[in-house]
């Protein structure tokens, strides 16, 4: 439940949400004018200035009210930890985190965060509560609980298949010393044993790169399954070699002794993907 802001459904709030959305949504990349700016430009300057002024007054008033409420709750020894909306479903171990917080009589809630509203006037209640938790338990308290919660989650979900971004950022390719090595060594080794057909049409200067990607499940035992290959050629003539390159990449994936992924330092099953670019 989102309780601490009580967000007013104003027109400008809609613009805020849309702005955050367009900034993060790739469908809006490369557009000369986003929907946000189209709406923005249709508002007369005086009306727009009033909207900004009214919105700032709203947030200032809300922050003042939340600050007083936080002070009153802290006086009553009430503490609340907030998950920020957008992270609640994505962050593993939230349920475990909530249980750990209960042991310290810390309540749990969720809140929104707007990318275009100054941080000092939004989520004032949540911010003050976080500051009070840090004062009472130390600045590393929440992070330490989060680590414990994530480890608990991994241990109680041994069969879960983790998304790539849910895992520790270490390379899963054998012999790599650093995660960044994965992007170079795997491709280098692939092309060491794969040759281009004699009449393959190589990329021209004005063309985008052609590529193929392999997606598969990498188990904590080292076994792989569900290998799927996608291939895209900018030069359509090269599609005649699709099966050749697909088979080569599939064989490369299956023969590689992949290093199982880890989450919170514990080996886990994970989704895996690698991309090869053509010359």
Q: Using the predicted structure, report yes or no on whether residue 48 has a pLDDT greater than 80.
A: no
Residues 111 and 212 in one domain: no
Residues 127 and 30 in one domain: yes
Residue after which a domain boundary falls, among 155, 185, 213: 155
What range defines the domain where residue 217 resides? 161-277
Q: How much is the average pLDDT of 44-61?
A: 78
Residues 138 and 183 in one domain: no
Q: Using the predicted structure, report yes or no on whether residue 104 has a pLDDT greater than 80.
A: yes
Residues 114 and 229 in one domain: no
Domain count, the chain: 2
3-state secondary structure string, the chain?
CECCCCCCCCHHHHHHHHHHHHHHCHHHCCCCCCHHHHHHHCCCHHHHHHHHHHHHHHHHHHHHHHHHHHHHHHHCCCEEEEEECCCCCCCCCHHHHHHHHHCCCEEEEEECCCCCCCHHHCCHHHHHHHHHHHHHHCCCHHHHHHHHHHHHHHHHCCCCEECHHHCCCCCCCCCCCCHHHHHHHHHHHHHHCCCCCCCCCCCCCCCCCCEEEEEEEECCCCCEEEEEEEEECCCHHHHHHHHHHHHHHHHHHHHCCCCCEEECCEEEEEEEEEEEECC
How high is the pLDDT of residue 41? 60
How high is the pLDDT of residue 243? 96
Residues 32 and 141 in one domain: yes
- Per-residue pLDDT of 117-172, as tens digits, reads 888 888 999 999 999 999 999 999 999 999 999 999 999 999 999 998 888 888 88
Residues 144 and 175 in one domain: no
Q: How confident is the model at residue 178 (pLDDT cuts 50, 70, 90)?
A: confident
Residues 126 and 234 in one domain: no
Q: Using the predicted structure, report yes or no on whether residue 8 has a pLDDT greater than 90.
A: no
Residues 140 and 225 in one domain: no
4 in any annotated domain: no
How high is the pLDDT of residue 119? 84
72-76, 108-112, 113-117, 161-165: the lowest-pLDDT one: 113-117
How high is the pLDDT of residue 206? 83
Q: How confident is the model at residue 55 (pLDDT cuts 50, 70, 90)?
A: confident
37 in any annotated domain: yes
- Per-residue pLDDT of 249-267, as tens digits, reads 999 999 999 999 999 999 9
Degrees to nearest 5, angle at CA 87 with 62 and 16: 45
Residue after which a domain boundary falls, among 94, 122, 155: 155
How high is the pLDDT of residue 32? 39
How high is the pLDDT of residue 86? 57
């Amino acid at each position: 439940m989102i309780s601490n802001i009580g967000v007013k459904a104003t027109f400008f709030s809609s613009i805020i949400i849309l702005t955050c959305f367009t900034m993060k949504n790739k469908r809006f990349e490369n557009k000369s004018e986003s929907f946000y700016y189209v709406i923005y430009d249709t508002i007369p300057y005086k009306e727009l200035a009033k909207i900004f002024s009214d919105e700032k007054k709203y947030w200032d008033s809300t922050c003042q009210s939340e600050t007083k409420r936080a002070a009153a709750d802290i006086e009553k020894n009430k503490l609340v930890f907030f998950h920020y909306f957008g992270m609640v479903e994505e962050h593993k171990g939230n349920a475990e985190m909530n249980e750990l917080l209960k042991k310290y009589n810390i309540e749990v809630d969720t809140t929104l965060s707007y990318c275009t509203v100054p941080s000092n006037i939004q989520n004032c209640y949540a911010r003050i509560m976080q500051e009070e938790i840090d004062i009472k338990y130390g600045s590393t308290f929440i992070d330490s609980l989060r680590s414990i919660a994530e480890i608990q989650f991994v241990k109680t979900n041994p069969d879960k298949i983790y998304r790539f971004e849910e895992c520790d950022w270490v390379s899963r390719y054998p012999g790599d010393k650093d995660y960044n090595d994965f992007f170079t060594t795997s491709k280098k080794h692939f092309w060491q044993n794969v040759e281009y057909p004699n009449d393959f049409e190589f990329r021209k200067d004005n063309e985008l790169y052609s590529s193929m990607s392999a997606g598969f499940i990498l188990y904590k035992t080292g076994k792989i399954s569900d290998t799927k290959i996608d291939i895209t050629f900018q030069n359509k003539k090269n599609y005649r070699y699709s099966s050749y390159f697909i088979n080569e990449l599939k064989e490369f994936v299956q023969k590689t002794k992949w290093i199982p992924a880890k989450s919170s330092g514990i080996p886990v099953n994970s989704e895996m993907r690698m991309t090869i670019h053509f010359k």
